[in-house]
Chain A
Amino acid sequence: MRQQSSHDGPVAGSAGAEGRRHFGVGVRPPEVQVPVAGEPAAALETEPERSPIWAVGGGKGGTGKTFVSAALAQQLARHGLAVNLVDADFGAPNLHTFLGVQDPSTDLSHFFYGNRLPLEEVLVEADGNGLKLAAGSNRRFSLANLEYFRRLRLLRHIRALPGQVIVDTGAGTALNSIDFFNVSDLPILVTNANPASIENLFLFLEAVALRILKQEVRTLGLQKEVSRRWEAEGKPPESVPSLLGIARDLGGGYQRRLLEALEPFQPCLIVNKTRGDEDILLGRCLVDVAKRCLGTRLCYVGAVPFDRRVTECLTRFLPFVSTHPSSEAAVAIMLIMDRLLERSQSLERQQ
């Protein structure tokens, strides 16, 4: 039933974007989709079966976003699902290294430049079990600052991939990371139990929340009014509470509208490299702080215990999960996968 896309034609993207947060800012998708010329109208009526996109992000570098992406993908593949991994950490790609793929024959530079291969042809086999990887490129530095239209094309192609997709995003609050995180069906945050990770986690969370709120401000046609008030208040630091405060002062139920726009954003949370019960408990604490202070509901899906064999595997170019399938960390990832699948399915039912 899946619509097989040809090279660079309008892939299921424009139609598939209906009903969910769209990529980036700018134009909002129209309420009623107009069939694109050259695209069969029937495909628009019955929305093609989409592959669920899970995006892994979280601000701080070194928390284990890439490890979690690779390990989740490995467990999903072992579970019998067709899984595609996309390394969207364009500036510092190493998902392939975590999977023991030392020199991928094709990578995303082949997708973006030159002959511009379709994403499906860029995928390389990794770790058996039907796991495929779109590797980041060590060849092109310009990938680090990817233009908006290129990201958009990647997203269209990702949507058309058959099977489950996991996107590993880069550290920091660059729009690239935020946008991939934002459009995914299941955003997943990875943090460690230390103040530096928490600091970056909340910064990232607020950046994503602000992007959603600003989009809604634009939809409501309030940009001018909001920026006028913001300047009148002496340009306080941009934050979710300050923006909501301005909306409240505007009256007219705008604050409620903004909160409603934020409501569907409920990322999952994983605490990685835990070294005891206190670290595991921290996940529950963060859920409360995010709700109370940032108006964002997190869904804590589990903790992964620290395992120094992760680094050992890395140095020997071995994928961790298939090398140590019975390790506590691999089993923890399996339990997390169960929770994520459950959540993914319940979100799908809601739509």
Chain B
Amino acid sequence: MRPRGRARTPFEVLDLPPDATAEEIQDAYLLLVSTYGENSYATYTVLSDRERKKILQQVEKAYQTLKHLRRTSDASQAEEEEAAAEVEPPALQSPVQPPPRRGRRWAWLSSLLAFLRVERSPDPNGHPLGSEVTRQLAGSYRLSAGQYLKNVRTHKGLSLDAIARSTRISVQHLQALEEDDLEELPSGSYRRMMLSSYARTLGLSSEALLQDLPEQRA
């Protein structure tokens, strides 16, 4: 809500500072699509359907402008960033991005597909964004398994060393579990074993574990 007068810049439309990165632009755009998109009820009673569509159009236009801007100005920088980036954002800037390392391929692919759905043909019945994008946008508000274990542990007044002694898992690995730092952890069933062993040490029964442990990231 702002006084009438000068037109808003695309950054203002997306509620971003003018130095926002390509990733932030994409994140803001996706958030606004899920807020003002066809099947969202976040605007219920506040906006009419017409007003909602108008905002969506403004958002779309702002995003197209910024996407274009970023693509031309960051052409050289993007290469460096891509090389340095740990996780590539879903292919937005260029349709052909190198697929990520093994293990992430599926996540990458589904987010790419989810994104294409947004840009090409929004599903008239489902959530405007795919589940992978939704999960990504929920971000830090989503309780992770690591956060969960860490909180239960600190509340019980247990140190990582104590957990390490009883589980025979190294402190580094336990720390990685708590920080959800998958890079530092072995993959697959071994990681699951570590998690359940840690959880058991905290006194979480297998039943409680199933109920309590937030679904793990793939």
Q: Which residues of A contact B (CB under 8 A)?
A: 78, 194-195, 198-199, 202-203, 240-241, 244, 248, 255-256, 259, 277-278, 280-286, 288-289, 291-295, 300, 302-303, 305, 325-328, 331-332, 334-335
Residue among B3, B15, B31, B35 with the highest chain A CB neighbour number at 10 A: B35
Contact A288 B138 (CB under 8 A): no
Say yes or no: A199-B147 contact (C-beta < 8 A), given A278-B127, A284-B31.
no
A316 to B212, CA, bound (A): 21
In chain B, residues 131-155, which have Cβ atoms closer than 8 Å to a Cβ of chain A?
131, 134-135, 137-138, 141-143, 147-148, 151-152, 155
Shortest CB-to-CB span from A122 to chain B, Å, is: 31
Contact B1 A293 (CB under 8 A): yes
Contact B41 A195 (CB under 8 A): yes
A199 cross-chain contacts in B, Cβ below 8 A:
44-45
Q: Which of A198, A282, A292, A331 interacts with B151 by CB under 8 Å?
A: A331
A285 cross-chain contacts in B, Cβ below 8 A:
31, 34-35, 40, 42
Contact A335 B151 (CB under 8 A): yes
Contact B45 A331 (CB under 8 A): no
Q: Which of B32, B45, B141 interacts with A283 by CB under 8 Å?
A: B141
What are the 5 closest A-B residue pairs judged by CB atoms, nearest first?
A: A295-B1, A285-B35, A285-B42, A280-B138, A277-B138
A291 to B15, CA, bound (A): 10
Q: Which of A203, A281, A325, A331 interacts with B143 by CB under 8 Å?
A: A331
Contact A302 B141 (CB under 8 A): yes
A98 to B80, CA, bound (A): 56
Shortest CB-to-CB span from A80 to chain B, Å, is: 12
Q: Which of A198, A248, A326 interacts with B204 by CB under 8 Å?
A: A326
Contact B35 A289 (CB under 8 A): yes
A255 cross-chain contacts in B, Cβ below 8 A:
3
Say yes or no: A277-B142 contact (C-beta < 8 A), given A289-B35, A328-B214.
yes
A248 to B5, CA, bound (A): 12
A78 cross-chain contacts in B, Cβ below 8 A:
155
Contact A281 B137 (CB under 8 A): yes
A278 cross-chain contacts in B, Cβ below 8 A:
127, 134
Interface string of B32-56 (1 = CB under 8 A from A): 1011000011111111000000010
Say yes or no: A335-B143 contact (C-beta < 8 A), given A198-B45, A202-B45.
yes
A281 to B204, CA, bound (A): 28
B212 cross-chain contacts in A, Cβ below 8 A:
326-328
Contact A282 B42 (CB under 8 A): yes
Contact B143 A195 (CB under 8 A): no
Shortest CB-to-CB span from B74 to chain A, Å, is: 26
B202 cross-chain contacts in A, Cβ below 8 A:
326
CB closest chain-B residue, reference A245: B4
A244 to B3, CA, bound (A): 9
Contact A203 B45 (CB under 8 A): yes
B46 cross-chain contacts in A, Cβ below 8 A:
202, 289, 293-294
A177 to B152, CA, bound (A): 34
A295 cross-chain contacts in B, Cβ below 8 A:
1
A3 to B138, CA, bound (A): 45
Residue among B3, B138, B152, B202 with the highest chain A CB neighbour number at 10 A: B138
